[in-house]
Amino acid sequence: MASHGARGRSGGRPTLEEVAARAGVGRGTVSRVINGSPRVSDATRAAVEAAVAELGYVPNTAARALAANRTDAIALVVPEPETRFFAEPYFSDMLRGVGAELSDTEMQLLLIFAGSDRERQRLAQYLAAHRVDGVLLVSVHADDPLPDLLVQLEIPAVISGPRSAAETLTSVDSDNYGGGRSAVEHLLASGRRTIAHITGRLDVYGAQRRVDGYRDALRDAGHKADELLIEPGDFTEEGGRRAMSVLLDRHPTLDAVFAGSDVMAAGARQVLREVGRRIPDDVALVGYDDSAIARHMDPPLTSVRQPIVEMGRAMIDLLLAEIADRRPAASRGLERRHAVLPTELVVRASS
Amino acid sequence: MASHGARGRSGGRPTLEEVAARAGVGRGTVSRVINGSPRVSDATRAAVEAAVAELGYVPNTAARALAANRTDAIALVVPEPETRFFAEPYFSDMLRGVGAELSDTEMQLLLIFAGSDRERQRLAQYLAAHRVDGVLLVSVHADDPLPDLLVQLEIPAVISGPRSAAETLTSVDSDNYGGGRSAVEHLLASGRRTIAHITGRLDVYGAQRRVDGYRDALRDAGHKADELLIEPGDFTEEGGRRAMSVLLDRHPTLDAVFAGSDVMAAGARQVLREVGRRIPDDVALVGYDDSAIARHMDPPLTSVRQPIVEMGRAMIDLLLAEIADRRPAASRGLERRHAVLPTELVVRASS
DNA sequence: AGGTACTGTGGGAGCGCTCCCACCAGTGAT
DNA sequence: ATCACTGGTGGGAGCGCTCCCACAGTACCT
C-alpha cells in the first residue's frame, strides 16, 4: 500500500479533481487514465498514475454510476430457496465458474435468492431500479415470469438451460442431445442390445434433448424405434424406481438402462437389485450429471458429465458481451446467442 | 403492478422532479415522502404517493448514494474459500438469520468470499471505495488483518466470535462459557465422576471459554482441579482421536468426556469403541455444535447447540445500530457492544 | 397589535463522476 | 504559405438525488 499521507484537507477521500490538481492536468485527463482510454500521452499517464498512488485515490462508484448510467454489477439470480442452493453442488460449481471469469473484471457479482414470494417481490423492485447491469439466471422453471420481466425492463440477461428451442434470452446449455447420444453409443459399443431410457421431466427442455439423442443414436445404429423402451421419470429417486419397474415388466430382457439423471439411476439400481439383476453383468446402467451420487454408488455409476464450471464462465462471457453491445446503440446481430458446451461420458463400473 | 403507461417523454425512468411536477409539489417534498419523513401533511403525502404509483417511480440508487454518501448495502465477508462456505451448515444458518433480519430493510446484502490472496486484495479495494455501509465478519482467524483494516477505514463492522476478551470490534458470540458449564453440569447430574475435556484450538477464544466453563463447573461442584483431565485437540477428528488416547492412558477410569466440537467427539468415539468402552454405559460423551454429525452418530450425540440463526439476526441488529449511530456525529457510547447469546444442551443417547 | 414559535413547503447548491465539445499544437498535403 | 487533419487536453454541463436554508402560513402567546 502506498502512503496515504497526503489526503485532501477535508480529511475525506480524494476526488478526481484533487488528483488532477496534484498531477497538474485537467479532470478529463485523469478520468481518461482511470478508464484506460488510449488517447493519453505516456508522460501524462505516468504523472496521473503517480498522483493516484500518492493520494490513494479510489473512484467513487456512486458518482460513476450516476454519471455513466451503469452499475458495474451483475446479479446471479437463483429462483430457489437458499436451502436448495446450498444442497446442490450444481450451484456452487456454477458460482465457481462465474467468479473465476469475473475476477479479471471490475464487475461485482451479487447473489440473489428468489425462492419465496417476498423475495421475488424484492427482486422485481431491485431490477426495476436497474441496480445491476445484467442478470444471470439459473435453474428457471418453464412458467417463470422472470425472463419476461427482464426482457421488458431491457436488462441484459443470460439463462442457463434454455426453456425451449425458441428461447428468447441469450442462453448457455450443455449438449444434452450429444450427452444422450454418447451414453447410448457407449452402451451399444459394449455390446448391449436392448437399451431402455428413463427420461427426466419432459417439460424440461434439456430432458427432451436427451431423449432425442437416445432415439437418434439407436436409429443410426440400425435399431428400429421402440417407444415402449422409453419411460418418463421426474428426476426423483422414486420416479426412477417406478419407471424401472414399468420397463422391466414391459421388457424383461433389457440389458441396459440410460437414466436421465444420477438420482433416477439410483432409484433404478434399487429396483434392479431387488429383482436380482446384477450391475453391470445383467444390466448396464448409465446416469446423467456425474454427481457425487454417481461416484459413491455401488457399483460406481457411469454418467454424463456437464461442464458446469465452464458453463458459468460462458454465461459471464455472453453477458458481458451483451452489456457492452448495449452500451452504444449498436446494431446487434442475433449471432451466437446460444452457446452449447460439450458433455463428457465418465465411464465407471456400472457399464 | 401499477400501469407504467405515463412515463416521461424521454422514455427513460421517471425522476424525482417528474414525480414532483405530476403531484404539483416541490422536489424536496417528494424526497421527504419517499424517505418517510414525518414533516409532510397527509394530503400532500397521498398526492405524492399517487404520482409515484402512476409513474412507476423507483429511486435512483446511484444518485441517492452520491448525494447522501451511503450505499444501503452491507457485506457479509467470509474469509474462507467458497468450498468451505458451502460445506459447513454454519454459514448457511448464519446467512438465514442475516437474510431474515434484513428483509424488513432496504439494505442489500452482499456475499463476499476472501479466501485467496487475490480475493482479499479485491476486498481491500472494495472496502477502500466504501462500497458498503457496514461489514459482517464471520469465521475470522486471530491474526487476520481485516478487522484492523475496517477500523482504519472507519467502516462499521460486527464480528461473530470475538478474537479475544478485548475485542475492539462490536461482536456477537454464543455463550461458550455457559455452554461448557452446561455440558459438565449435565454429566455431573447424571452421576459421572471423572470428566475429561478435549479442547478446541486454544488460540480460538471460544474454545478457551469452553474450557473455563468446564473448569468452573467442576470447581463449583467441589471437584479439585486436575489439569491432566484436559487435553487439547484442534477441532479435527484426528485431533479428537489423539486426545482421547492420551486421556485414556492418563485416566483409565474416566467415565465421561466433554469434547469441544462434534467432530472431535466423533474421533473420541472411535477410540472408545476400539478399546471396548461402551457409550454411554462406560463413558458418557458430549459434543459441541449440535451438527448433523451429532444427530447421525451411533449412539446419537448429546451436544451443545449454538443459536446460529439468532446470532445472524443479532449481528444485523448491532450493525444497523452502528451504522445509524455514525450517520449523525453522535456521541456514541460503548454500551452493549458485545452480545452473547445463550446456548442449549441437546441431550441424546450418548450421555 | 406585535411578537415568537412552530409546521409544511420550495428550490438552490452540491455530491464526484462521465461525456462531449472546444481548442491547441503539430504534421503532412496542397 | 494555407489548409485540412489528428493526437492530446481542459473544462462545462449534467446525471438524480439529499441537505438545508428560506419563507409562507397558522397558532398561540404577551
**Which cell is A277 given?**
439383476
B325 CA → D12 C1’, Å: 39
Based on the fold, state whether residues A180 and A292 are members of the same structural domain: yes
Closest in B60, B111, B126 to A111, CB measured: B111
pLDDT band at B10 (very low <50, low <70, confident <90, very high): very low
Q: Which of A141, A90, A86 is nearest to A263 (CA)?
A: A90
pLDDT reported for residue A54: 95
User: Rounded to whole angstroms, how far apart are CA atoms B98 and A187?
Assistant: 49
Based on the fold, state whether residues A140 and A119 are members of the same structural domain: yes
Based on the fold, state whether residues B147 and B261 are members of the same structural domain: no
Based on the fold, state whether residues B92 and B165 are members of the same structural domain: yes
User: Rounded to whole angstroms, how far apart are CA atoms B24 and B3?
Assistant: 20
Domain at A23, CATH number: 1.10.260.40
Based on the fold, state whether residues B167 and B126 are members of the same structural domain: yes
pLDDT band at B335 (very low <50, low <70, confident <90, very high): low
pLDDT at B136 over 60: yes
Domain at B89, CATH number: 3.40.50.2300
State the helix-helix crossing angle for A262-274 and A237-250, rounded to 10 degrees.
50
Based on the fold, state whether residues B139 and B180 are members of the same structural domain: no
Contact predicate A128/A107, CB 8 Å: no
Q: What residue of A is the nearest CA neighbor of B113?
A: A99
pLDDT band at A82 (very low <50, low <70, confident <90, very high): confident
A44 CA → D7 C1’, Å: 13
Based on the fold, state whether residues B163 and B191 are members of the same structural domain: no
A94-108, A269-283, A330-344, range with the lowest pLDDT? A330-344
A115-133 average pLDDT score:
93
B118-133 average pLDDT score:
93
Whether residue B201 lies inside any domain: the answer is yes
Tell me which chain B residues have a C-beta less than 8 angstroms from the C-beta of A108.
Answer: 110, 126, 131
Digit-coded pLDDT (tens) for B205-221: 999 999 999 999 999 99
Provide the total of helices (H) and of strands (E) in chain B, helices listed first: 14, 12
User: Rounded to whole angstroms, how far apart are CA atoms A209 and A58?
Assistant: 49
**% of chain A at pLDDT higher than 70:** 94
Among candidate residues A59, A85, A110, the one where a domain is terminated: A59
pLDDT reported for residue A72: 94
CB contact under 8 A, B82 and A60: no
Digit-coded pLDDT (tens) for A209-263: 999 999 999 999 999 999 999 999 999 999 999 999 999 999 999 999 999 999 9
Q: Does residue B311 or residue B11 have the better pLDDT?
A: B311
Q: Which helix (H) or strand (E) holds A28?
A: helix A27-34
Among candidate residues B6, B32, B59, the one where a domain is terminated: B59
Whether residue B265 lies inside any domain: the answer is yes
**Which cell is B292 given?**
448433523
User: Rounded to whole angstroms, how far apart are CA atoms A259 and A240?
Assistant: 8
Whether residue A131 lies inside any domain: the answer is yes
Whether residue A68 lies inside any domain: the answer is no
Whether residue A4 lies inside any domain: the answer is no
Q: Is residue A299 reached through a cis peptide bond, with omega within 30 degrees of 0 on the bond before it?
A: yes
Digit-coded pLDDT (tens) for A155-189: 999 999 999 998 999 999 999 999 999 999 999 99
**% of chain B at pLDDT higher than 90:** 82
Based on the fold, state whether residues B81 and B55 are members of the same structural domain: no
**Which cell is B224 given?**
479439585
pLDDT at B143 over 60: yes
Q: Does residue B10 or residue B315 have the better pLDDT?
A: B315
A9-23, A72-86, B72-86, B226-240, range with the lowest pLDDT? A9-23
pLDDT reported for residue A80: 85
pLDDT reported for residue B326: 75
Whether residue A6 lies inside any domain: the answer is no
As ranges, strand C nucleotides with an atom below 7 A of a protein CB are 7-12, 14-21
A55-64, A253-262, B100-109, B266-275, range with the lowest pLDDT? B100-109
pLDDT at A200 over 90: yes
Q: Which domain covers residue A49, as residue numbers?
A: 16-59
Please count the CA atoms within 13 angstroms of the CA of A101 that sit on its side-chain side: 21
Whether residue B346 lies inside any domain: the answer is no
- Which residue ranges have CB below 7 A from strand C? A 12-13, 15-17, 27-28, 31, 34-35, 57, 59-60, 63-64, 66-68; B 24-29, 31-32, 38-41, 43-44, 63, 66-67, 69
Q: What residue of B is the nearest CA neighbor of A128?
A: B58
B68-83 average pLDDT score:
92
A282-291, B140-149, B258-267, B300-309, range with the lowest pLDDT? B140-149
Q: Which of B246, B270, B12 is nearest to A128 (CA)?
A: B12
pLDDT reported for residue A8: 36
A7-30 average pLDDT score:
83
pLDDT at A9 over 50: no
Based on the fold, state whether residues B55 and B78 are members of the same structural domain: no
Q: Is B294 left (phi over 0), alpha (psi -120 to 50) or beta?
A: alpha
Contact map slice: B 43-82 vs A, CB within 8 A: 56, 58-63, 65-66, 71, 82
Whether residue B68 lies inside any domain: the answer is no
Contact predicate B101/B163, CB 8 Å: no
Digit-coded pLDDT (tens) for B35-73: 999 989 999 999 999 999 999 999 999 999 999 999 999
A146-154 average pLDDT score:
93
Q: Which amino acid is at B182?
A: S
| Chain A interface, best mutation among B34, B66, B82, by max A CB count within 10 A | B66
Based on the fold, state whether residues A44 and A131 are members of the same structural domain: no
B144 CA → C21 C1’, Å: 50
User: Which strand ranges, in their side-by-side order, compose the sheet holding A134-138?
Assistant: A108-113, A73-78, A134-138, A157-160, A170-174, A338-341
Domain count, chain B: 3
A331 CA → C29 C1’, Å: 36
DSSP code for A190: T
Digit-coded pLDDT (tens) for B156-176: 999 999 999 999 999 999 999
A38 CA → C30 C1’, Å: 31
pLDDT at A330 over 90: no
Tell me which chain B residues have a C-beta less than 8 angstroms from the C-beta of A62.
Answer: 62-63, 65-66, 71
pLDDT band at B8 (very low <50, low <70, confident <90, very high): very low
CA dihedral A38, A42, A45, A47 (to 10 degrees): -170
Q: Which helix (H) or strand (E) holds A256?
A: strand A256-259
Based on the fold, state whether residues A214 and A295 are members of the same structural domain: yes
CB contact under 8 A, B66 and A71: no
Based on the fold, state whether residues A241 and A162 are members of the same structural domain: no
Among candidate residues A6, A24, A59, the one where a domain is terminated: A59
